[in-house]
Amino acid sequence: MLPERKEAEALLAEAERCNPGPWGNHSRVAAVCGEKIAARCPGMDPEKAYVLGLLHDIGRKFGVKHLGHVYDGWHYMLELGYDKAARICLTHSFAVQDLEDYVGKKDIPEEAQEELRMALAKVVYDDYDRLIQLCDSISGPEGPVDMEERMADVKRRYGRYPQEKWEKHLELKRYFEEKTGRDLYEIVGKTMLRGSLHKVIKKEEGGHDKMSEVLQAIAKRSSTRGYTQEKLTKEELDTLIQAGLQAPTAANRQEIHITVVEGDNPILAELETDKNQGRGLADLPHNFYYEAPVVLFLSGDASFYWSKLDAGIAAENIALAAEGLGLGSLIIGCVKDALYGEKKDYYAKALKFPEGYEYEIAVALGRKAVTKEPHDYSAEKNVTYL
């Protein structure tokens, strides 16, 4: 037995009132994903998938629990006579059919664990069990999310995520992609932003998804704060400058100017001193460009509304080109106060900014002496789909 859609929605709403939290919307997202995927799988019932998605976490009604929510949901649904939903409450966390694989606290007594263990072992998984396991792993409270991103997040929060479980989820993705003949994220309405691109790159290194060189550079770039003293070749420097000049500009004004400054130019030391003085800082172990062999200063027409944006775009073009050449880069804003202070005109002259131009941004460039992982980000937090 399974409740109708309306009743399932009412059950979820009531459960949310008892224990409010993002889990309610996570369940709704899982329901919609389940419905969409099932609609493309011959022989599957989208309505059933929707209801099962909606109720898989219903045990959270009874408080903030880990394994407890599996136990509570299973019993709650059995008490209401909804055995099919009860089964999903039981199986949704176990892509690997083993209670020991649970990531999170086993916050129920040993007898209850044994009860779950035995019940779980008896189930022969069908496509609805698999589908909701999959949907659980791609559903954030605001919409579908990247599966690997979500698993990585669980790993960060709980300190572990069994490899077998990770692989099982990827297998589930492949399973339903084969069944539907479509890319999973296409079906659930998420065509881009599959979490950190560098994770996709890692997959590629394992022989999976092909990525363009541009996407690889975007995914791999991170700020370099440590350089060797080896100079850039003329060809490298020209390529970087061209990348900056090839950036789009508002109304194609092409107003961004680039001043190339060698790392040992005394103007940089002077700027370092002024920056530190302005900020009340003593000498730092590194200067602001981390001893890079070259720093590009991008200046823009002070009277043009879009100069700052244009300079930002050019700076990122340069940074990506550097990554493409296997070089390091650091976008630098921290000298702004010094460059806009009482010595503004002096610096504009010393850095040979064109008349009426002012500093927008700088980019340090060189060979990496240190490496850093690209930063993590949250598409859930930073993206809204209308």
Q: Closest separation between CB of residue 323 and ligand FMN, Å?
A: 11
Burial class (CB within 10 angstroms; exposed 0-12, middle 13-18, buried 19+) of 163: exposed
For the four alpha carbons of 70, 74, 79 and 80, in that order, the dihedral sign comes to positive
Instruction: Determine contact, residues 191/299, Cβ cutoff 8 Å.
Output: no
The 3-state DSSP class for residue 128 equals helix
CA distance 25 to 140: 8
| Contact call for residue 331 and ligand FMN (CB under 6 A) | yes
The 3-state DSSP class for residue 26 equals helix
Q: Closest separation between CB of residue 372 and ligand FMN, Å?
A: 6
| Contact call for residue 330 and ligand FMN (CB under 6 A) | yes
Q: Closest separation between CB of residue 180 and ligand FMN, Å?
A: 35
Nearer to ligand FMN, 139 or 287 (CB): 287
Size of the site for ligand FMN (CB under 6 A): 12
Binding mask 214-233 for ligand FMN (x = CB under 6 A): --------xx-x--------
CA distance 147 to 136: 9
Contact pick of 105, 156, 160, 375 for ligand FMN (by CB under 6 A): 375
Binding mask 354-373 for ligand FMN (x = CB under 6 A): -------x----------x-
Identify the helix (H) or strand (E) that includes residue 109: none
Binding mask 282-321 for ligand FMN (x = CB under 6 A): ----------------------------------------
In angstroms, the first-to-last Cα distance of the chain is 36
Contact pick of 1, 118, 251, 334 for ligand FMN (by CB under 6 A): 334
Tokens of 291: 């001893």
Tokens of 342: 């009482």
Q: Closest separation between CB of residue 333 and ligand FMN, Å?
A: 3
Task: Say which residue the tokens 């989820």 belong to.
Answer: 169
| Contact call for residue 265 and ligand FMN (CB under 6 A) | no
CA distance 283 to 288: 11
Of 49, 37, 219, the residue nearest 144 (C-alpha) = 37
Length of the chain: 386
Q: Closest separation between CB of residue 315 and ligand FMN, Å?
A: 7
**Interface residue list for ligand FMN (CB under 6 A):** 222-223, 225, 330-334, 361, 372, 374-375
